[in-house]
Structure 1
Amino acid sequence: MQDKNRTEIEAEVFRRLLQHLDERKDVQNIDLMNLAGFCRNCLAKWYVTAAANQGTELDLNQAREIVYGMPYPEWKRQYQKEASPEQVAAFNASGKGTGSSDA
């Protein structure tokens, strides 16, 4: 596979991942962290890093808006639920973080 073709395919896959996550707003970030070790916020941080690697300035809020499809505070207000004690315990036991509300 040629590099250009690979990049186009990867871009299409990433857009499909974002679409899928947008369609599954019921899946909380903490659920993603507990099951897969990453969440929407991780994707936003990876987006910022990738942009910087390409010489493009992008801040975390801009990246979050790309990943969430809206400003992050709005997404949190509309879709983020309080994590259950079981979710927090699983998150903390995994060593993935300190139980941050941004998970």
Structure 2
Amino acid sequence: MTKPLGYYTNYKPGDETLLATLQDDYGAAFEKISKREKLVMLTALASHIGCQLEGDCRAEIFTITKQITQQVTIADQIGIMEAIIGQIRYGQNFVVQEENPPMEN
């Protein structure tokens, strides 16, 4: 995070919230949190938010994720994460529609 927490959140200096505490304890750009710790936080937050959403995840998503982890450089994996975060935050949400079974005669 190269910009301060308030750039990405609703935090405003002077707020007395958890965001203020995080910034005070770990730095405005989370510079006191290691890369590994940030990834753990990202994993936990993504899992929590994902569980709040309706619907299931297609099996192919697990397959392509495994392929990405095995065949794509770490730098590009981080780039994919950044792209996905931007799409989740600002992009349209593609909803997988279940196919209707064919009508029986």
TM bracket, shorter-chain basis:
under 0.3
Higher fraction of helix: 1
Higher Cα Rg, which structure: 2
TM-score normalised according to structure 2 size: 0.27
TM-score normalised according to structure 1 size: 0.28
